[in-house]
Chains A and B, each alone.
Chain A
Amino acid sequence: MNKVVTLICSAALGALELAKENDIVITDTAVVEVPCSGRVDEATILRTLRQGAQAVLVVGCLASNCRFSTGNFEAHRNVDEAKRILEEIGLSPSRVEMVEVSSAQYMKLVEAMEMMADRAGELGPIRLLEGDP
């Protein structure tokens, strides 16, 4: 079962393709493409966790390279907001993270995904860890 959901913008998707071309196998994460990382708002991140993800990785372009100019800045703010909310409701903010990659930086992307898979493993599923069944 996929523990991590990766929400990746179209521009950065190239990095994923590059990873596959280099025979890197990505496990434990479901990948969802979005037109721009800025499209991912805090509600979406929270819903993703509620629907079974143990961790969420948002992938956007490098700071000044967003094709919509400020989408990745928005994404950072949304991810930070989601982290704050998680903390306030008693869940670990490290379940959510954002990473910036260019379409050539496939190793950076892979490392980020592996990091989130590790975190998901450590933190476990949300229901069992933090609540009484």
Chain B
Amino acid sequence: MTDCRSNLQRVLDSGNFAVTAEIGPPKSASGEAVQRRARLLKGHADAFNLTDNQTATVRLSSMASAVLCMQEGVEPVLQMTCRDRNRIALQSDLLGAASLGIRNILCLSGDHPRFGNQKGAKGVYDLDPVQELMVFRMMRDEGKVWGGDTLEQAPQVFLGAVANPFADPLDLRAVRLAKKVDAGAEFVQTQAVFDLDRFERFMKQVRERHLDERAHILAGVIPLRSAGAARYMRDRVPGMSVPDEVVDRMSKAADQRDEGIEICLETIERLRSIEGVHGIHIMAIGWEDIVPEIVDRSGLSQRP
């Protein structure tokens, strides 16, 4: 077992149920919003993801946001997509991140430029997330960049990937996760779980392949703020599965906000009971204030 490179790794490797959350950087040259959220969320999770130009929309960079978080004493998870940078930039940024004390790295493909405010941009996609993991692991474990040149000092990073049990086809999802774990993923954050039955089926396949013994899986949750939000996620977000029962429940609720939190808490409770789930990843973009309440009411506020 390698020495723990980050707080998140320490929590997971010691068998504790981990909590991660997200901070969405602003469309601004001022990092004040990031710092404010970091202060608000400090202590309520083991590490915080800084998204990388999410939805292909120009925002304050994830790397800069991660540094701002660390200045507030909060551990970041640096998201690095394959969309905007080639292997030269990605490897360089990994060295940069490591030099700044950033330890948790999340590798993902990134929303296509078509989604964002730079629709005419050239999507780079020099590497895909599996290749990104292969390259980063090589840098860390062999002290070499892709191609063999030696690094004076290897980056000590804890590598992560994403998984979407709700995209199609289901059979391929565990295969894809296996590929990422083979390539070097040590922790995995999933897309938000609303469809627990499907998630359980996915986890069964994961356990059959013993992937839960090789990587820590953190199940994603999103607290729903309104029935409209539930409908939007069901109908307009590719790769998200929101069962009609959830949408109905939200529509019929007297207080939609409270109902959304209830659903989130119930989901978390059920997730904790699934073998192989080692933590949760709370994505409350635009509603970061609610994270402390969710963590508290889930009984997870005592962070190890």
Q: Is any CB of A less than 8 Å from a CB of B in the complex?
A: no
Partner-A contacts on B (CB < 8 A): none
